Structure 1
């Protein structure tokens, strides 16, 4: 199959006509029409119906453009990168990231990345759901403890752990039998025992406050509302200032943050640059979130 003919077909289909496609590409309408005719001849099917009202994709044309549009974009981007010396990151980078990480980190990360790569624009969607990178046209996704996925590749760039914290005025129980403590917990989640430091201290959280956000739980803990189980990354500032005291670590739980992209697409320079940027930002893999 002639790749140039396929590219020209996609160009005409995207612009819904020969005239617009010609103006956008600088190629003549006669050339575009001939290329499409050659492609139809190779495939043995009509791809475009021509009428006085313009052009309309046939059912076969709709199937072809739906299957070819994404991969074609990657091939064109890769060819352009090769022609320009392979390497300059450019274009729009779409990133899906968890809500909390987005709120506390992605604003700074996005601004710093664009400063380092001025030919890239960045769009971040804060979502806790599992977005489909291909169907929803994302370049990369940041995920916590992602499940193995043969379609995605990437790197772990930071790690976090869960700690039990409380305000200095809240008495920490002594090690021994299971100890009950007033607690601040997530809404609609039944709390389980908190086993700290390899089981040397086991706490039975008795919920007094229920919240749907780690930030609200942290702020309630600072205000003396009880003990709370939090990612260390969002409590480090309060711990450093003495507003919270760390009672222990849930050593069996570790959160790994990964930056992922699809293995079915060529990794564009902008994607490679973003993955490297995220890993360089956390050289010791220690996650610290400000907010």
Structure 2
């Protein structure tokens, strides 16, 4: 069966046990503003909203989450209580009942998926060599400026006992540089910590700038020791391609898509969803 429209399967060269997926607004059970893109809002169906906090029908969200969990036999997707911060949850010590409050998660446990939900913010997936550890991070501008990627990378490398230069990274869909206008405070939050970040901002009018989240993430990862050649993806804009992805900045009332990554158990292959 084919992947639902606009889903992105992250490939991990020489890291056969790692699986990663970025979902879209297509392929599920939600309707209305949470439905798949195209046509009038009232007529929309087939939405893959995974957010339980955005006003969607809880039964539709539960069905969508069940479908995501069926990507691989025995897969358990761990959802976070995201607060636009820099905390990293250790899923290896998770009690499997509570909802961790964090904006990133790391694990070495096969079949346990680190997952972040987004609708313009940047989802970032990371994998250690040999599939010994994986992590997912929710990188909105606040978390990105505050160090969520550096914290996630540190936690991942600590788990895997590897160097940042060996870590593979995938950047998922997010609001692109033609649509993400920010104020001087946002620019200063990045440039004050990393001068090179100035290249990721383009002035549109006095005190206003277009920001490139993809470039900002790459710059922060490279400064933390990640090889530029091992950073994949990026460049897919949720606003420009809003028929395929949820976008909070454009729609306000909308769903959430996911970026998730996990270690497959030996002999397990990913099940394709149609």
Same fold per superposition (TM over 0.5): no
Q: TM-score range by the shorter chain?
A: under 0.3
Structure showing the higher helix proportion among its residues: 1
Normalised by the length of structure 1, the TM-score is 0.26
TM-score relative to the length of structure 2? 0.27
Between structure 1 and structure 2, the one with the greater Rg is 1
